């Protein structure tokens, strides 16, 4: 067992939300007794150790206190109670362009940042070229930082943070900025730091990053520590919690599309109205209604309809759209040769069953439609009126909008030169 790089013991942090009392002496004198400060506990009694040389993740939703914990560790704030023992020189990448003075040039900021870490001008002069080169900002190194793009900010910040040879590196989800190539360069560098024994602490709500990078993950929720364990264990628990919360929220939401019983022609709803969709509901394999679907799992979409008169053999269809407007699918029962009976006046429902939902997590919208048997006449078409939230589920793929459920062979090679 090596001694921990950072030992956090019973740390609590309270912020005062109102401006912290009086802002002028007069105010302080007049309203001395009534300093109505609202308290906010960003962290409550958090304790854990971060082993030296490890890649440690801190996960949690927005406002969970993870960034506050990082700021306490970096010494920017001090804990209201408890102690944080830090063993080694810290370099922090806390937010966009953190630690930059906007009026100074990139070069001057490099020296300033070095000085903050206790490195002399001379020492920084020996690495400035390397930093400029790594960040790839070219001649902008001599321009004031305030004219930098956000990408340049991050690149220079990262270049400095990793070139000052920190013993502990704090990273607060800034790596998401920057292009693919730079990100790869960053990760290469982070890995090489890690090989040299640098302790790296990454704060993020990105469960993928936690999975692939970290040795150990701590999960914070509303300022309280939930769990510290292997990434897979913590990330699964975290995601289950996030899903449960989202379901709760969706269930609480009032049904937005309270269906009009009379034909109301709006821009996104048209049709003659003999038959209309009244509601769309989602169900899992047991038939229970669910507020959101899970990627890769069973989903039944149930269309509830009302018929004003008897309608012969209507065709039901849905359109699936990603929230960015991409049309992903448009199945109907005629395409799969299922003929509907003559629908008598009244209400009813029809199920569309998807055994393995290939949509990846995200927000989607459904268009519903009911057409005559020859699809020439529209009874009801309701464009993208129904929200479909897809949460992480058993689907393994992560990139893009849909899972292709692929099978891969093992690569074969024929020895020899590739010319």
Residue 308 burial (CB count, 10 A): 15
Residues sharing a CB contact under 8 Å with residue 382, sequence separation 6 or more, in sequence order? 268, 269, 277, 367, 368, 369
13 or 269, CB closer to another protein?
13
Residue 14 burial (CB count, 10 A): 15
**Shortest distance (Å) from residue 86 CB to another protein:** 5
Residue 221 burial (CB count, 10 A): 19
**Shortest distance (Å) from residue 399 CB to another protein:** 33
37 or 212, CB closer to another protein?
37
**Shortest distance (Å) from residue 232 CB to another protein:** 32
20 or 138, CB closer to another protein?
20
Q: For 94, phi and psi rounded to 5 degrees?
A: -90, -45
What are 228's two structure tokens?
Answer: 């510290």
Shortest CA distance to 90 belongs to which of 162, 185, 9, 4? 162
111 or 282, CB closer to another protein?
111
> How far apart (Å, rounded) are the C-alpha atoms in residues 419 and 416?
9
> How far apart (Å, rounded) are the C-alpha atoms in residues 224 and 61?
12
**Shortest distance (Å) from residue 235 CB to another protein:** 29
115 or 363, CB closer to another protein?
115
**Shortest distance (Å) from residue 101 CB to another protein:** 6
**Shortest distance (Å) from residue 94 CB to another protein:** 6
Residues sharing a CB contact under 8 Å with residue 249, sequence separation 6 or more, in sequence order? none
**Shortest distance (Å) from residue 414 CB to another protein:** 55
The answer to whether the beta carbons of residues 293 and 359 sit under 8 Å apart is yes
77 or 270, CB closer to another protein?
77
14 or 270, CB closer to another protein?
14
DSSP 234-255: HHHHHHHHHHHHHHHHHHHS--
Q: Please give the residue ranges that form the binding site for another protein (CB under 8 A).
A: 15-17, 19-20, 22-26, 28, 72, 74-89, 92, 94-95, 98-101, 104, 108, 111-116, 118-121
> How far apart (Å, rounded) are the C-alpha atoms in residues 419 and 417?
6
């Amino acid at each position: 067992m090596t001694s921990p790089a950072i030992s956090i013991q019973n740390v609590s942090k309270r912020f005062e939300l109102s401006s912290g009392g009086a802002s002028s002496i007069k105010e302080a004198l007049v309203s001395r007794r009534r300093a109505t400060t609202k308290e906010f506990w960003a962290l409550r009694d958090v304790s854990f150790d971060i082993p030296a040389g490890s890649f440690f993740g801190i996960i949690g939703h927005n406002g969970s206190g993870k960034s506050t914990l990082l700021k306490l560790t970096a010494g920017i704030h001090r804990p209201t109670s408890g102690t944080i023992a830090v063993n080694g020189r810290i370099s922090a990448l806390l937010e966009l362009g953190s630690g930059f003075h906007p009026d100074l040039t990139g070069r001057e900021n490099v020296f300033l940042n070095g000085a903050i870490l206790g490195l002399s001008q001379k020492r920084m002069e020996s690495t400035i070229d390397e930093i400029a080169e790594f960040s790839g900002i070219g001649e902008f190194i001599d321009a004031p930082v305030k004219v930098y793009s956000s990408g340049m900010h991050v690149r220079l910040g990262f270049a400095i943070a990793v070139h000052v040879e920190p013993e502990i590196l704090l990273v607060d989800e800034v790596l998401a900025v920057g292009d693919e190539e730079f990100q790869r360069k960053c990760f290469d560098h982070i890995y090489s730091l890690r090989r040299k024994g640098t302790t790296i602490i990454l704060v993020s709500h990105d469960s993928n990053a936690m999975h692939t990078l970290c040795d150990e993950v701590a999960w914070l929720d509303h300022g309280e520590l939930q769990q510290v364990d292997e990434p897979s264990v913590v990330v699964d628990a975290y995601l289950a919690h996030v899903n449960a919360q989202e379901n709760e929220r969706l269930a609480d939401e009032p049904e937005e599309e309270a269906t009009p019983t009379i034909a109301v022609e709006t821009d996104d709803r048209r049709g003659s109205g003999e038959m209309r969709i009244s509601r769309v509901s989602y169900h899992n394999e047991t038939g229970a209604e669910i507020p959101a679907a899970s990627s890769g799992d069973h989903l039944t979409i149930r269309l509830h309809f009302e018929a004003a008169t008897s309608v012969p053999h209507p065709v039901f269809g849905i359109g699936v759209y990603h929230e960015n407007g991409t049309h992903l699918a448009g199945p109907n029962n005629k395409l799969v040769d299922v003929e509907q009976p003559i629908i008598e006046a009244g209400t009813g429902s029809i199920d569309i069953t998807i055994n393995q939902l290939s949509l990846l997590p995200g927000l989607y919208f459904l268009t519903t439609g009911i057409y005559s048997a020859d699809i020439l006449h529209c009874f009801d078409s309701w464009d993208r009126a129904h929200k479909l939230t897809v949460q992480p589920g058993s689907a393994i793929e992560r990139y893009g909008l849909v899972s292709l459920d692929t099978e891969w062979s093992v690569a074969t090679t024929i020895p020899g030169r590739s010319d």
